[in-house]
């Protein structure tokens, strides 16, 4: 049930219907309790109230954009947490926006600014309902994922086909299909390395969110039919700029320093070489060493002396089987075939 489909009684109307004597005696308690009752009646079970010594102190609710009955079109959300001061509503409460999903820092900062303006203008009046409406209105205007797809690092623009996971993370449909295909391929490759008894006890494959690793379930074949991101198609070809070259040099120096200090695990593995990107200009700049330089760098062989040749002779003499032991290493018997 959505907020826009219900009547929205204002806390001020509730206070106006109360006797003035009650308001004068326990004004703060009545206003807080009636405001919370009104919110719970509007949002049903969407409001969580945390008490402190029997007094409401923290009000928390998850705010979604207004999309009517089309819940699947709610692409963004945020958790609104309001901490009431001891003398609320005579002083402004503390407002915190937690777990913004599909919202970048600029949008969250704008919502904070609007909330601060509202609080400054309504000191002394119940404000919880108005705060929720401010956040909901802003989310409705920004009901599109902002930021980048963490898989391809391209922004979401008009014409992109994206998908929202149950954990409110957004990806291009094309990118998510590639991620799920590669994750299943990696799982199968790791399973082939295990013995049969470990394969039986292994956890079956599950699709997970690339961001929070929550379990998801999507049809990969349907996602594959989506076109690639618009920015990836219109992006210019990759060019190895001077800035990237300088970055590669700095990272290589840092890696060498970490390896020298023993801070890199598996640095001596004989795996495939690292990926390097070169251009035709880079290849032309490479100068092959001349034959004379190679010959000059090659050290001349030194004549071996009798002292250096002695260990080799000794090694050859040690290869002769010892006559005092046979093949079973029993002393006192000659090896079969050995001369008497």
- Per residue in 145-198, pLDDT (tens digit) is 777 888 998 888 888 888 888 888 889 999 999 999 999 999 999 999 999 888
Q: In the predicted model, is pLDDT for residue 82 greater than 50? A: yes
pTM of the model: 0.50
- Residue 332 is predicted with a pLDDT of 55
Quick one: pLDDT at residue 249? 94
* Domains of the chain, CATH where assigned: 3-141 (3.10.110.10), 162-234 (3.30.40.10)
Q: State residue 262 phi and psi, 5-degree precision.
A: 75, 25
* The pLDDT value given to residue 9: 46
Q: What was the pLDDT predicted at 13?
A: 44
Which DSSP helix (H) or strand (E) runs through 78?
Answer: strand 77-83
Q: Give the rounded distance of the alpha carbon of 71 from its chain centre.
A: 25
Closest CA to 75 of 87, 60, 65, 85: 65
pLDDT at 43 over 80: no
**Phi-psi label, residue 268: left if phi above 0, alpha if psi -120 to 50, beta otherwise:** alpha
Name the strand (E) or helix (H) holding 131: helix 128-141
Residue 219 pLDDT > 90: yes
Q: Is the pLDDT of residue 50 over 80?
A: yes
């Amino acid at each position: 049930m959505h907020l826009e489909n219900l009547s929205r009684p204002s806390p001020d109307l509730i206070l106006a219907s109360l006797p003035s004597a009650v308001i004068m005696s326990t004004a703060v308690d009545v206003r807080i309790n009636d405001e919370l009752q009104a919110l719970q009646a509007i949002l049903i079970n969407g409001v969580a109230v945390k008490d402190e010594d029997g007094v409401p102190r923290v009000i928390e609710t998850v705010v979604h954009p207004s999309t009517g009955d089309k819940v699947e079109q709610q692409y963004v959300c945020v958790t609104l947490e309001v901490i009431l001061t001891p003398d609320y509503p005579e002083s402004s409460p503390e407002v915190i926006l937690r777990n913004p999903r599909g919202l970048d820092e600029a949008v969250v900062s704008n919502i904070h600014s609007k909330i601060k303006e509202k609080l400054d203008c309504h000191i002394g009046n119940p404000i919880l309902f108005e705060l929720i409406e401010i956040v909901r209105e802003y989310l409705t205007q920004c009901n599109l994922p902002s930021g980048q797809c963490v898989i391809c690092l391209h922004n979401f623009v008009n014409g992109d086909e994206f998908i929202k996971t149950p954990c409110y993370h957004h990806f291009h449909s094309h990118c998510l299909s590639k991620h799920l295909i590669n994750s299943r391929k990696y799982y199968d490759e790791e399973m082939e390395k295990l013995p049969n008894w470990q394969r039986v006890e292994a956890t079956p494959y599950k699709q997970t969110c690339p961001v929070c690793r929550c379990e998801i379930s999507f049809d990969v074949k349907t996602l594959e039919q989506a076109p690639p991101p618009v920015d990836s198609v219109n992006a210019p070809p990759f060019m190895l700029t001077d800035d990237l070259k300088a970055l590669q040099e700095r990272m290589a120096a840092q890696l060498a320093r970490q390896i020298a200090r023993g801070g890199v695990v598996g640095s001596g593995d004989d795996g495939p070489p690292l990926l390097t990107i070169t251009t035709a200009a880079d290849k032309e700049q490479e100068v092959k060493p001349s034959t004379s330089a190679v010959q000059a760098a090659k050290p001349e062989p030194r004549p071996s002396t009798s002292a250096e040749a002695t260990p080799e002779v000794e090694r050859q003499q040690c290869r002769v089987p010892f006559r005092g032991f046979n093949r079973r290493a029993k002393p006192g018997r000659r090896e079969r075939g050995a001369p008497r």
